[in-house]
Amino acid sequence: MKYGLIFGAAFLVGLMIIFGTGSEIGFYIMAVLPFVVYPILISLAVWFFISLINLQKERNRYLAEIVRKLEKDNT
């Protein structure tokens, strides 16, 4: 929560600086911004899915070990 407020405040200050300059630099920065934001979002999504797959593999490994021990005890 703390970091969200910090990033939100930084974003608002950045927008105030960009649009408060009175020149066209704000327009150019906003035109380039999607080329910066979208790769970051795509990278985060890929990282999340890779982490999720790795967690599922680890969980399956633990479950297979438990099943192996249970089968060993039953025989």
Q: How confident is the model at residue 66 (pLDDT cuts 50, 70, 90)?
A: very high
Torsion of CA 32, 3, 51, 69, to 10 degrees: 180
| Joined tokens for residue 10 | 């930084």
Q: How confident is the model at residue 17 (pLDDT cuts 50, 70, 90)?
A: confident
Measured distance CA(8)–CA(1) in Å, rounded: 11
pLDDT beyond 60 at 12: yes
Give me the number of domains the chain comprises. Answer: 1
Q: pTM for this structure?
A: 0.56
Measured CA distances, 31 to 2, 27, 39, 54 (Å): 29, 6, 15, 37
pLDDT at residue 16, rounded to an integer: 75
Which among 39, 6, 38, 41 is positioned nearest to 14, based on CA atoms? Answer: 6
